[in-house]
Amino acid sequence: MKVLAFASRNRKELLRDPLNLAFGIGFPVVLLLLLSAIQSNVPVSLFKIRSLAPGIAVFGLSFISLFSGMLIAKDRSTSFLIRLFASPLSASNFILGYTLPLLPMAIVQSIICFIVSYFLGLSVNVNLLLALIILIPAAILFIAIGLLAGSLLTDKQVGGVCGALLTNLVAWLSGTWFDLNLVGGAFKTAANALPFVHAVDAARAAVAGDYALILPHLLWVIAYAVVILSLAIYVFNEKMRSDAK
Amino acid sequence: MSAIQTRDLTKKYKEKIAVDQLNLSIEQGELFSLLGVNGAGKTTTIKMLSCLSKPTSGDAVLLGDSVATSPMEVKKKINVSPQETAVAPNLTVKENLETIAGLYGSNRKEAVKKTKEMIESFGLSEVEKSKAKTLSGGWQRRLSIAMALISNPQILFLDEPTLGLDVLARRDLWRTIEQLKGKVTIILTTHYLEEAEALSDRIAIMAKGRLKAVGTVKELMSHTHTDKFEDAFIALASGNGASL
């Protein structure tokens, strides 16, 4: 009950911020429409919906880091944190309370992305359901990045790091906008060392029905998610307790 | 049984001693004020008593449970109304209250019932559907105290509850606090001497982390041979008066 009460409060805080809705849902949808419009007017295959939709779904998830980071950083900047710490909430209650409302938001965000993609020509089949499941580790990864950023930074800094830096990193290094082989070299090596391109490739493989290709990419994402989430939980506990002192 | 009993309660930050071997006994139902100039150790004391900060040494026992060894048990019996705004800004007054009731273990039905009671007793009905961020400072403080009381705490910590409020809002809040006297043990910190004088059963004066005096307003004035409480406070807080 305690966790649910806290999660419910966090869900309301997140959903009542119009910027969250605009960036979390509106922006990825606008990009889908825009890039599909470009595709329909050029003779080469730049943004085929089967490749674009999973990429935009991952890009949209990067905004989840911004939401979670901002919420935690704002709580840290007010006396509301003291009230929370004085309550009988345990450390695991806090982590769950911040994480639980974001996971359904991330899934809904991906569903909306695929629904819009359907109207742009994406085939609807069981593979889309698989893609939604494949995107869950990526969603947890982005929630963890937000948890980490919110624990360490102020809300303004979170806006810069998660709202600008992370979203750009995901945009450029995920292979959503262009084939990484076109650039190659250190750029491709760096992109492959990060989880974003693997999240996109795993979701693309799921949409395409290339099941054998999913796991190798998904393992990258899961490994990153486990490491970042563990780090985020540790930093969150340490930082928030020191903030209350 | 005392509501609060501290034994050599001490907090050190590296070389700085914020609270030095504090020994206090506060009775159940008492309204007890902690006074002192900035840096006296009031807030650190409150943070240790409310399990927000661990003592470096010593202990405090709140209604039979130690802050050092049983902080979760202590937290179930207390609540805090922190300095500054401590409300969830995008939630309504009603939702803020229901959230805190839930955090202290109430199920949905209980939370709704307790919220209704708090809205009535704190006169919050006209703003119950307003988001907390839209309320004036006075309303936010009133909500903050209602949020601290919705868990039915046996001990309530009020940290500078009237800071920044205008005189009307302050007097209004005084009336609310007076109504709680005898029902809940209240630990109040304030910079307003007239507030402590008007509300407190007993007052402790701290300076440089040490307890300088404890007593009623009359006892403190008598001890320092002063006619005004402000003079008694200055004598004790500045170290000119002998410890009581």
Report the alpha-carbon distance of residue A202 to residue A198 in Å, rounded. 6
Is there a contact between B75 and A87 if contact means CB atoms under 8 Å apart?
A: yes
Question: Best residue in A85, A89, A241 to probe B by mutation, most B CBs within 10 Å?
Answer: A85
Percent residues over pLDDT 90 in chain A: 56
Question: Residue with structure tokens 């969603």?
Answer: A139
Grade residue A107 by pLDDT with cuts at 50, 70 and 90. very high
Report the alpha-carbon distance of residue A220 to residue A224 in Å, rounded. 6
Residue A120 near residue A33 (C-beta atoms within 8 A): yes
Is there a contact between A80 and B88 if contact means CB atoms under 8 Å apart?
A: yes
pLDDT value at residue A91: 83
Report the alpha-carbon distance of residue B155 to residue B30 in Å, rounded. 10
Buried b (16+ CB within 10 A) or exposed e, B164-183: ebeeebbebbbebbeebeee
If one compares A20 and B153, the residue with the highest pLDDT of the two is B153
Is there a contact between B104 and A88 if contact means CB atoms under 8 Å apart?
A: yes
A12 touches chain B (CB under 8 A): yes
Report the alpha-carbon distance of residue B161 to residue B142 in Å, rounded. 9
> Does residue A45 register a pLDDT over 80?
no
Report the alpha-carbon distance of residue B110 to residue A217 in Å, rounded. 48
Is there a contact between A13 and B90 if contact means CB atoms under 8 Å apart?
A: yes
Query: H or E element: which one contains A39?
Result: helix A27-40
Residue A88 tokens read as 């009988």
Task: Give me the mean pLDDT over the B87-104 stretch.
Answer: 95
A172 touches chain B (CB under 8 A): no
Of A6, A12, A13, the CB nearest to B103: A6
Strands (DSSP E) contained in chain B are: 4-13, 16-22, 25-26, 31-35, 57-62, 65-66, 78-81, 155-159, 185-189, 202-207, 210-215
Q: What is the mean pLDDT of chain B?
A: 91
Lowest-pLDDT choice from B112-121, B168-177, B212-221: B168-177
pLDDT tens per residue, range B99-129: 999 999 999 999 999 999 999 988 899 999 9
Question: Which pTM was predicted?
Answer: 0.83
pLDDT value at residue A159: 86
Chain B: give the shortest CA distance to residue A84, in Å.
Answer: 8
> Does residue A196 register a pLDDT over 70?
yes
Report the alpha-carbon distance of residue A223 to residue A89 in Å, rounded. 29
How buried is A230 (Cβ within 10 angstroms: 0-12 exposed, 13-18 middle, 19+ buried)?
exposed
Question: Residue with structure tokens 């009542």?
Answer: A16
B91 touches chain A (CB under 8 A): yes
Among B65, B63, B76, which Cα is nearest to B2's?
Answer: B63
Cβ neighbors of A141 (< 8 A, separation 6 or more) are A195, A199, A221, A224, A225, A228, A229
pLDDT value at residue A139: 96
Of A2, A78, A84, the CB nearest to B102: A2
Separation of first and last alpha carbons in chain A = 27
> Does residue B243 register a pLDDT over 70?
no
Task: Give me the mean pLDDT over the B54-75 stretch.
Answer: 95
Chain B: give the shortest CA distance to residue A4, in Å.
Answer: 8
Of B78, B101, B102, the CB nearest to A86: B78
Is there a contact between A5 and B82 if contact means CB atoms under 8 Å apart?
A: no
CB count within 10 Å of CB B40 equals: 23
pLDDT tens per residue, range A204-217: 999 999 999 999 99
Q: How many beta-carbon pairs under 8 angstroms link A with B? A: 89
pLDDT value at residue A119: 93
Query: What is the topology classification, in CATH, of domain B2-84+153-238?
Result: Rossmann fold (3.40.50)
Q: Residues of A with CB below 8 A from B95's CB?
A: 9, 12
Percent residues over pLDDT 70 in chain A: 98
Is there a contact between B107 and A1 if contact means CB atoms under 8 Å apart?
A: yes
Antiparallel, parallel or unpaired: β B65-66 and B57-62 = antiparallel
pLDDT value at residue A184: 84
Is there a contact between B100 and A1 if contact means CB atoms under 8 Å apart?
A: no
Grade residue B244 by pLDDT with cuts at 50, 70 and 90. low
pLDDT tens per residue, range A132-185: 999 999 999 999 999 999 999 988 999 888 888 998 899 899 888 888 888 888
A129 touches chain B (CB under 8 A): no
Task: Give me the mean pLDDT over the A52-66 stretch.
Answer: 93
Residue A154 tokens read as 């102020």
Residue B193 near residue B35 (C-beta atoms within 8 A): yes
Task: Give me the mean pLDDT over the B191-220 stretch.
Answer: 94
- DSSP state letter for B164: T
Q: Residues of A with CB below 8 A from B41's CB?
A: none
A230 touches chain B (CB under 8 A): no
Backbone angles phi, psi at B20, to 5 degrees: -120, 105
pLDDT value at residue B118: 92
Of A2, A13, A82, the CB nearest to B82: A82
Is there a contact between A79 and B90 if contact means CB atoms under 8 Å apart?
A: no
Output the DSSP codes for A100-111.
Answer: TTHHHHHHHHHH
- Listed by start position, the domains of chain B span 2-84+153-238
Grade residue A243 by pLDDT with cuts at 50, 70 and 90. low
pLDDT value at residue A39: 82
Strand partners, A236: none
Grade residue B57 by pLDDT with cuts at 50, 70 and 90. very high
